[in-house]
Structure 1
Amino acid sequence: MDLQAQIQSLINSAPQDGVTPLLVESIAPGLRALAEKLSHSQYYILQNMHKEWVLTTLSNRTNPKQEKRVVYAFPTSKDVSIESEMASDPSMIAAPTPVVHILFQLIALEPVDSIVFFETPGTTQNAIEIKRLELQKLVQQTLEQKNSVNRIPPDIA
């Protein structure tokens, strides 16, 4: 599924409350820009039976008390089974997920600090990390720009 179709899918599946589809449409350019930096249109995310993404907690080597929680996004289902010990657990599945949907989910995933996208099948050497706070900042800037364009200047008369 191409990026525009993924964005349209997000808009269509958003609650039809008169606000959410417009919000998704507003932030779509930012999501698209990030997705275009990645190599694949979909990634595989390890999930439990309840469709919750599996988090991995990483510790800083020089400061073990400094931790971050990440979700790994793999380019193929085979890479999930190679890289994650949990993939052999029958209660876990490697779910193919459109890249735009992953980015959109990251905006609100409070316990997640970032998503690590592995770009090259068969290796974890080539990865791109997208931090939740940076994505939230991008979304905020996009919304602020859109609001400033839609505002009527006070001295219009």
Structure 2
Amino acid sequence: MNLDQQILALIDKAQLYGVPPEWITQIAPVLIEYATGLQHLEYYILQSPESGWLLTTLSNRAEPDVQKKVIHAFSTLEDAKGFQLVPEPQIVAQREPVTHILFETVGREVIDSTIFFDTPGNRTTGYEIFRVNLIERIKEHQQIHRPSPKSNPRNLPPDIA
């Protein structure tokens, strides 16, 4: 699926996510903007049947109390499978469209970031996209593209002198 097809699929599933299709349409340019900065249209995400996408908690080496929860997105099935030090049979790697991964990153408050591993065979260097940055970019986009009120005398407030 190309990026436009991915967005259309997200819009079709909007009700499953509990959001209006118009909202996905509004944020689509931001999802596409971020997705075009990545090398692949789809990535593999580790997930379990009962709890969904596998979150990894990372600790700061200098400050062990500082932690973040991340999703790892792999460019190949082999990289995803090789990520687990001790393979668990109930954890599987599923291919997901990149815009859907970004959408999930925005929508899940428990996720701090998603790390995309673009280079096959390299599971140590990835491109990290922070949830707060995505949300800020969406807000900026909405401010810029907010429809302005039409210049019409009927749009004037009733108390104008």
Same fold, TM-score > 0.5, yes or no: yes
Q: 2:149 aligns with which of 142, 149, 152?
A: 152
Aligned length: 151
Over 3 Å counting, the alpha-carbon distance change for 1:51 and 1:40 in structure 2 is farther
Q: Aligned-pair distance for 1:156?
A: 4.2
- Structure 1 residue runs of 4 or more that deviate by more than 6 Å after TM superposition: none
Query: Residue 159 of structure 2 corresponds to which residue in structure 1?
Result: none
Counterparts of 2:84 and 2:98, CA distance in 1? 20
* Superposition deviation, residue 13 in structure 1: 1.6
Q: What are the Cα deviations for residues 117-141 of structure 1, in whole angstroms up to 9, with x where unaligned?
A: 0010111243100001111111122
Which residue does 1:116 correspond to in 2? 115
Query: Displacement, 1:142?
Result: 1.8
Write out per-residue CA displacement over residues 96-148 of structure 1, whole angstroms, 9 at most, x where no aligned residue: 0000000001111111100000010111243100001111111122222222x
- Is 1:64 the counterpart of 2:64 in the alignment? yes
1:23, CA displacement in angstroms?
Answer: 0.9
Partner of 2:95: 96
CA distance in 1, matches of 2:67, 2:144: 34
Amino acid at match of 2:110: P
Q: 1:133 matched to which residue of 2?
A: 132
Name structure 1 gaps, 5 residues minimum: none
Q: What residue number does 1:34 align with?
A: 34
Amino acid at match of 1:136: I
Secondary structure (helix, strand or coil) at the match of 1:62 reads coil
Structure 2 stretches lacking a partner, 5+ long: 154-161
Q: What letter corresponds to residue 71 of structure 1 in structure 2? A: I
Using the alignment, how far apart are the partners of 1:94 and 1:4 within structure 2?
A: 24
**Residue 143 of structure 1 aligns with which residue?**
142
How far, CA to CA, are the matches of 1:85 and 1:136 in structure 2? 33
Structure 1 residue 90: Cα displacement: 1.1
